[in-house]
């Protein structure tokens, strides 16, 4: 049976996943904290009122199935686990590329399928996949990361198309420049952090709490008619690229100020 107030989040030992687990527990969910880092999962779970730590690699089918058997059928699955192997593509080892695909994309599929099978048998459930703004726009030297995140966005649509009829509602959150998780080492440099903040229309980096709130909203009844969508939670940075390009003042004027220099106004 699906426990109506149960939520399982992968990659929950730290960063965004740990914050999703905390926010879910604060909202009254029984929480499954799943991570390949067993000690980290136990540490996160120990700080929550009603949580269980689950040690598993999302890329290993048998471990995923065993974790779901232990936790039971969740009302909500959050596919958050992910890794990155930085480096230019020309120098990227195939093993690194495959490792990222296995965890980010295959892991999302394996966990989603395992949960959806159980949810469908129990009458339904919700799945929220975590992609990235890099699934919309690439980042330099990110190896397979951007490709897998783009694939997760399409996989979300595929899951929603195939599973909605069984009562399993699937959506996706795409974080932007987040102060935490994988980006913590980058944002530790105060000068670099300030420079990154200036390119975000909202004027700040996102927080892990921003992402957790979006995830819990998509998992809630308030989003009941939202299906197969990807919610960008990026402070507007993905849409702002043209605002950083140089442009002549003449194109931003109105009336006579907008006409091409040396050309008379039209009559």
Tens digit of pLDDT for each residue in 33-76? 999 999 999 999 999 999 999 999 999 999 999 999 999 999 99
Residue with tokens 């009122």: 49
Give the burial class of 120: count Cβ atoms within 10 A of its Cβ; 0-12 exposed, 13-18 middle, 19 or more buried. middle
How, if at all, do strands 125-130 and 74-79 pair?
parallel
d(CA 106, CA 97): 13
pLDDT for residue 188: 83
pLDDT for residue 187: 81
Which parts of the chain have pLDDT scores under 50? 1, 265-267
Cβ contacts of 236 within 8 Å, gap of 6 or more:
200, 201, 202
Q: Considering the chain, what is the average pLDDT of its residues?
A: 92
pLDDT for residue 1: 40
Which residues are identified as catalytic?
145
Percentage of residues of the chain with pLDDT beyond 70: 94
pLDDT for residue 256: 62
Q: Tell me the CA distances in angstroms from 188 to 193, 196, 263, one per residue in order.
A: 7, 12, 51
The whole-model pTM stands at 0.91
d(CA 31, CA 9): 8
């Amino acid at each position: 049976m699906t426990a109506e107030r149960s939520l399982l989040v992968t990659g929950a030992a730290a960063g965004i996943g740990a914050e999703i687990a905390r926010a879910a527990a604060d909202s009254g969910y029984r929480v499954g904290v799943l991570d390949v880092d067993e000690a980290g999962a136990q540490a996160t779970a120990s700080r929550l009122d009603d949580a269980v730590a689950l040690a598993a690699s999302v890329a290993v089918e048998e471990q995923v199935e065993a974790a779901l058997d232990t936790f039971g059928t969740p009302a909500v699955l959050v596919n958050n686990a992910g890794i990155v192997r930085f480096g230019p593509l020309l120098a990227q080892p195939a093993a690194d590329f495959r490792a990222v695909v296995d965890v980010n994309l295959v892991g999302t599929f394996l966990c989603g399928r395992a949960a959806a099978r159980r949810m469908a048998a129990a009458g339904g459930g919700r799945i929220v996949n975590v992609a990235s703004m890099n699934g919309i726009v690439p980042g330099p030297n990110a190896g397979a990361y951007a490709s897998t995140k783009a694939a997760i966005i399409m996989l979300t649509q595929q899951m929603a198309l195939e599973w909605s009829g069984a009562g399993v509602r699937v959506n996706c959150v795409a974080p932007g420049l987040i102060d935490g998780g994988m980006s913590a080492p980058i944002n530790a440099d105060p000068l670099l952090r300030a420079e990154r903040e200036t390119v975000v229309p909202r004027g700040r980096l996102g927080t892990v709490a921003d992402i957790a709130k979006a995830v819990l909203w998509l998992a809630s009844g308030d989003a009941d008619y939202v299906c197969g969508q990807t919610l960008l939670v990026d402070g507007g940075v993905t849409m702002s690229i043209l605002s950083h390009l140089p442009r002549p003042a003449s194109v931003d004027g109105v009336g006579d100020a907008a006409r091409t220099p040396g050309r008379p106004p039209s009559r």
